[in-house]
Amino acid sequence: MTVVVSRLSGHLGAEIQGVDLASELSNAAFAQILDAFNAHSLVVFRDQTLDPAQQVAFSRRFGPAIEHLLEGFRMAENPEVFVVSNLTEDGTPKGKPKGAIYAGQYWHSDLSYMAEPAMASMLHAKRVPSAGGDTMFAAMHAAYDALSDPMKAFLSGLTACHDYTHAYETVFSKLPNRPPMTDEQKAKVPPVDHPVVRRHPATGRPALFVNPGFTRRINGLAEDESRAILDFLFTHTTRHEFVHRHHWRPGDVVMWDNRALMHRAVADYDMSEARHMHRTTIAGDAPVAAG
């Protein structure tokens, strides 16, 4: 097996060829994949045919695969698989959704609202629309590097509150087919504080660690000050030069580093066409402040 790594954009992303993820990878091949993942923050494998159990097995090579909070969208026989889909059980627009229909249609970092946010996420495309439905990724290392020295000094040592309910208040409350969180679900994800600038545990690089989906406020600042700084950072991190846009093909497996990126699904496709994907999530560690 010859692993070939090809860079996709200036600040993030690489396509990996010569790998069949359904087969048992050698330790040497996996080490090359892990090196590419740490170097590029996102890796793309084309033309893969993984069943859910195989996807979970590959995910576990990187660390424990964890179950999503929303049990209604977890796959019964493989609960580590979270279904992202606009399909319904009876095939009608008003039928019971097979998966999270509006998942990720806002900038966020997966599970940043947890005390130990996700290290990585992996999405396997089963069916995709004929046009649209891309996913955008923003390079948070590069965004931090581009800040002025006074801004870096100001952000150093600050923490921010991350809260899953923030997404429900600002995004999901406006969308159909996404019921509100139950009190039991809310109790499982109390707000947590994380450094605004975190250090990557594998590379040592500093990265911004705030996102519009789950970051409620910067601690220690007045509300209007916090809002102004967060709005600036959200605009700054999503500048064109920091963003890579992935155009999905059936069989794609895309894995990204939540410690170094945030992402957003683009809802620009015909909802009468199927978009059906399987997601696994890999456990991470508590963020450590940089500097």
Instruction: Confirm whether 291 is domain-assigned.
Output: no
Per-residue pLDDT of the chain (291 residues), as tens digits, is 689 999 999 999 999 999 999 998 999 999 999 999 999 999 999 999 999 999 999 999 999 999 887 777 888 889 999 999 988 887 776 778 888 877 888 999 999 999 999 999 999 999 999 999 999 999 999 999 999 999 999 999 999 999 988 877 777 666 666 667 777 887 878 999 999 999 999 999 999 999 999 999 999 999 999 999 999 999 999 999 999 999 999 999 999 999 999 999 999 999 889 999 999 999 999 999 997
- Asked whether 251 and 96 are in contact (CB, 8 A), the reply is no
Total domain count, the chain: 1
Q: Does 182 fall in a domain?
A: yes
* Residue 120 in domain: yes
In a domain, 290, yes or no: no
Take residue 34 and report the two structure tokens written for it: 């892990």
Residues assigned a catalytic role? 108, 110, 263, 279
Q: Is residue 173 domain-resident?
A: yes
Query: Any idea of the CA torsion for 24, 27, 32, 37, to the nearest 10 degrees?
Result: 70
For residue 80, what are the CA distances in angstroms to 53, 71, 74, 83, 280? 9, 10, 7, 10, 6
SS3 call for 107: coil
Range of the domain at 51: 4-282
Q: State the residue for tokens 């097996």.
A: 1
Residues 6 or more apart in contact with residue 271 via CB below 8 angstroms: 86, 93
In a domain, 288, yes or no: no
Residues in the chain: 291
Does residue 287 sit within a domain? no
Q: Residue 204 sits in a domain of what CATH number? A: 3.60.130.10
